[in-house]
Amino acid sequence: MPETKPFCCGYAVIVGPPNAGKSTLMNHLLDHKLSIVTPKPQTTRKKITGIYHNDTCQIVFLDTPGIMKPMQMLHEAMLKTTRDTIREADAIVMMIPVSGKGEPFDRSLAEMLFGEWIAPSGKPVVVVLNKADRLSTRQREHALYLVRKLWSPQKAIAISALHGENTDLLIEALLPFMPYEHPFYPEEMLSTSPERFFVGEIVREKIFLQYGKEIPYATEVVIDEFREQHEKDPSKKDLIRCSIVVERDTQKHILIGKKGAALKKLGQAARKDIEEFLGRPVFLELFVKVRPNWRRKKGLLKSYGY
Ligand SMILES: Nc1nc2c(ncn2[C@@H]2O[C@H](COP(=O)(O)OP(=O)(O)OP(=O)(O)O)[C@@H](O)[C@H]2O)c(=O)[nH]1
Ligand SMILES: [Mg+2]
């Protein structure tokens, strides 16, 4: 008789600098676009739960905001999220992005990450060197050697989240640290966050992709109304009313564009992805509001869920 492995379950937090590929990794593991991904740093602002299932384990992945030097109250709230999420986890996936030129990774950044955020938690850590598609085999081996020498993690793996390379090794590496014997969530469940949260995130992703400079960073998205009409009457589309909050009038004008063209384009791109995500058609209405300095105002930040 083949030996059957006991079932295991637990929480694994993905921690790393902004733009490392944390959200890309979670999406790849779940085979679902759950967390938004853009080429700009500081895309993820809140904890995103993604539940990975297979026959032998359930791993609840926690995607977190990237670790950076806080410049304002919003950043401090984001970092607090990451800190609190590390506390919840049974194991840490420390993600370091590699570069193809010079040193294989930013050593001072990685040392700060390990010394200030990972080591003090005392939790098991699997280091993943992401974007390894940029390295030759020799460079990969050198980078892994450095990681093992510097921090002696439980495991170190070079992966490409974008191309799904070696991500199965990460699942295997996490299994010994998943302490529970029964799954927490039903098999069809992908996340604990509600649909409306992801709808807001999709709008935010499109803003990050469509606008440049400070616009994405000065923007917050709030779902004012999510009227699910479809379930009661399948001939009706769900209605989503969404506010885009910016800090200044000039930003509002840029968001809206000439004769509303930019906002229209944004709405079209967001609606397409929202419909794909929900699997049903929707009406999406976007409004732009100015809330001066919302990123520095405790009350406003709190009302936006930070
Ligand atoms: N070449 C390469 N690019 C990658 C890889 N993984 C992610 N990227 C790219 O890196 C960028 C950032 O990816 P994200 O997943 O948003 O990074 P993140 O760590 O979640 O970033 P924040 O949410 O800002 O903290 C995107 O343009 C990805 O396509 C990889 O394995 N190889
Ligand atoms: Mg992210």
Dig out the tokens for 31 from the structure.
């085979």
Question: In angstroms, what is the span from residue 131 Cα to ligand 1's centroid?
Answer: 8
Atom of ligand 1 nearest to the CA of 14: 19
Q: For residue 161, give the ligand nearest its CA.
A: 1
pLDDT at 219: 97
CATH 3.30.300.20 segments of the chain: 195-303
Total length of the chain: 306
Ligand 1: residue of 19, 35, 68, 94 to mutate (most ligand atoms within 8 A of CB) is 19
Regarding the domain delimited by 195-303, which CATH topology (the fold level of the hierarchy) does it fall under? GMP Synthetase; Chain A, domain 3 (3.30.300)
pLDDT at 233: 83
Q: What is the mean pLDDT of the chain?
A: 95
CA distance 281 to 293: 35
Sheet with 91-97, strands from edge to edge, namely: 48-53, 57-63, 8-15, 91-97, 125-130, 155-158
Q: For residue 35, give the ligand nearest its CA.
A: 2
CATH 3.40.50.300 segments of the chain: 8-177
Question: In angstroms, what is the span from residue 21 Cα to ligand 1's centroid?
Answer: 3
Tens-place pLDDT, residues 203-248 = 999 999 999 989 999 999 999 999 988 778 888 899 999 999 999 9
Sheet with 282-290, strands from edge to edge, namely: 220-227, 238-246, 282-290
The 3 state secondary structure assigned to 169-192 is: HHHHHHHHHCCECCCCCCCCCCCC
pLDDT at 178: 97
Residue 3 has pLDDT above 80, yes or no: no
Tens-place pLDDT, residues 188-200 = 899 999 999 999 9
**Contacts of residue 147, Cβ cutoff 8 Å, sequence gap at least 6:** 96, 127, 129, 153, 156
pLDDT-derived band at 2 (thresholds 50, 70, 90) equals low
CATH superfamily of 8-177: P-loop containing nucleotide triphosphate hydrolases (3.40.50.300)
pLDDT-derived band at 4 (thresholds 50, 70, 90) equals low
Classified as helix, coil or strand, 123 is coil
